[in-house]
Amino acid sequence: MRAAVSVVAGPVDDDLEEAFRVIADAAEAAPDRFAAAIAATIEDRSGPTGASIVNDAWLSSLVVAGGRIAFSDANLAIAARAPEFADAALELAARVTRRRAFAVLPHGGKRFIAVAAQGAASISWPLPAAAREALALPSATAILVFAPRFGGDLPSLIERSFALTRAEARVCGALFEVDTVEEAAMRLAISPATAREHVRTILRKTGSLRRADLIARITELMAGDYLRSSERTTLLREAFGLTAAEARVADAVALGLTVPEVAQRDGVSAHTVRTQLDAALTKAGAGRAPDLARLVCELCALAAWTSCSEPRRLDQQRLIAATRMIPAPGRRHIAAADYGPAEGMPVLYFPPGYCYRWVRRALVTALNARGFRPLSFDFPDSGLTDAPEAGADHIFDAVADDAARVMTALKLRRTHLFAEFGSAGPAMAFAARYPDLVNEAVLLMPRAPSAEPTFPGPIERVWRGLSASPALAFAAYEALRTGGSSRYLRWIQTRISNAVEADRRAMADQDFVDERIGEMLASGSRSSRGMIALDRGHMTGWPRPAGIGGRRWTIAATEVEPFRSAETTEQQWGWLPAVRFVKLAGAGRLATHTHAREIAGLFGKT
Residue 9 CB coordination number (10 Å): 28
Query: Does residue 119 fall inside a structural domain?
Result: yes
Q: What angle do CA 301, 302, 303 make, to 5 degrees?
A: 90
Q: Is pLDDT of 30 > 60?
A: yes
What is the pLDDT averaged over residues 374-397?
87
Domain end point (choices 112, 129, 146): 146
Strands (E), 351-457: 372-377, 415-420, 438-444, 452-453
Domain end point (choices 506, 534, 562): 534
Rounded mean pLDDT of the chain? 84
Q: What is the pLDDT of residue 482?
A: 59
The reply to whether 64 and 136 lie within a common domain is: yes
Q: What is the pLDDT of residue 486?
A: 67
CA proximity to 93, closest of 130, 74, 68, 121: 68
Adjacency order of strands within the sheet including 345-350: 323-328, 332-338, 372-377, 345-350, 415-420, 438-444, 552-557, 579-583
What is the pLDDT averaged over residues 464-487?
72
Query: Does residue 167 fall inside a structural domain?
Result: yes
How many angstroms separate the CA atoms of 529 and 421, rounded? 19
pLDDT tens for residues 171-227?
Answer: 988 887 777 889 899 989 999 999 999 999 999 998 888 887 888 788 777 766 556
Question: Alpha helices of 434-509 — where are they, by DSSP H?
Answer: 458-468, 470-483, 486-496, 501-507
Residue % of the chain over a pLDDT of 90: 38
How many angstroms separate the CA atoms of 61 and 79, rounded? 11
- HSE (side-chain half, CA atoms, 13 Å) at 223: 30
The reply to whether 185 and 162 lie within a common domain is: yes
What is the pLDDT averaged over residues 3-18?
55
The reply to whether 125 and 178 lie within a common domain is: no
The reply to whether 96 and 172 lie within a common domain is: no
The reply to whether 141 and 167 lie within a common domain is: no
* Contact of 531 with 474, CB cutoff 8 Å: no
Query: Does residue 140 fall inside a structural domain?
Result: yes
The reply to whether 7 and 72 lie within a common domain is: no
Range with lowest mean pLDDT among 335-349, 413-427, 442-456? 442-456
Q: Is pLDDT of 468 > 80?
A: no
The reply to whether 295 and 236 lie within a common domain is: yes
The reply to whether 163 and 136 lie within a common domain is: no
Query: Does residue 33 fall inside a structural domain?
Result: yes
CA proximity to 318, closest of 276, 361, 355: 361
pLDDT tens for residues 216-263?
Answer: 788 777 766 556 666 788 888 988 899 999 999 998 888 778 899 999
CATH number at residue 107: 3.30.450
Quote the pTM value.
0.85
Instruction: Say how many domains are in the chain.
Output: 4
Q: What is the pLDDT of residue 37?
A: 77
Query: Does residue 366 fall inside a structural domain?
Result: no
Query: Does residue 250 fall inside a structural domain?
Result: yes
Show the domain range for 168: 154-207
The reply to whether 59 and 138 lie within a common domain is: yes
How many angstroms separate the CA atoms of 453 and 478, rounded? 22
Question: 12 pLDDT band (50/70/90 cuts)?
Answer: very low
The reply to whether 286 and 265 lie within a common domain is: yes
Separation in Å, CA 268 to CA 242, 251, 261, 285: 18, 16, 10, 25
Q: Is pLDDT of 313 > 80?
A: no
Query: Does residue 317 fall inside a structural domain?
Result: no
Residue 316 CB coordination number (10 Å): 21
List all residues 6 or more positions away from 330 whose beta carbon is below 8 Å from its beta carbon: 389
CA proximity to 486, closest of 242, 124, 161: 124
The reply to whether 495 and 513 lie within a common domain is: yes
Q: Is pLDDT of 42 > 70?
A: no
Query: Does residue 559 fall inside a structural domain?
Result: no
Q: What is the pLDDT of residue 34?
A: 80
CA proximity to 216, closest of 312, 305, 325: 325
List all residues 6 or more positions away from 580 whose beta carbon is below 8 Å from its beta carbon: 552, 553, 554, 555
Q: What is the pLDDT of residue 9?
A: 47
Q: What is the pLDDT of residue 47?
A: 47
More confident residue, 541 or 100: 100
* Contact of 414 with 387, CB cutoff 8 Å: no
Range with lowest mean pLDDT among 519-523, 570-574, 594-598? 519-523
Residue % of the chain over a pLDDT of 70: 87
Q: What is the pLDDT of residue 169?
A: 92
The reply to whether 107 and 28 lie within a common domain is: no
Domain end point (choices 304, 319, 346): 304
CATH number at residue 291: 1.10.10.10
Name the 3-class secondary structure at 114. Answer: strand
Range with lowest mean pLDDT among 335-344, 450-459, 555-564? 450-459
CA proximity to 577, closest of 604, 600, 603, 546: 546
Q: What is the pLDDT of residue 186?
A: 93
How many angstroms separate the CA atoms of 5 and 592, rounded? 33
Bond before 31 cis per omega within 30 degrees = no
Question: 293 pLDDT band (50/70/90 cuts)?
Answer: confident
CA proximity to 275, closest of 242, 230, 229: 242
What is the pLDDT averaged over residues 488-514?
87
List for the chain the helix, strand, coil content (%; round to 5): 50, 15, 35
Q: Are strands 141-146 and 59-65 parallel, antiparallel or unpaired?
A: antiparallel
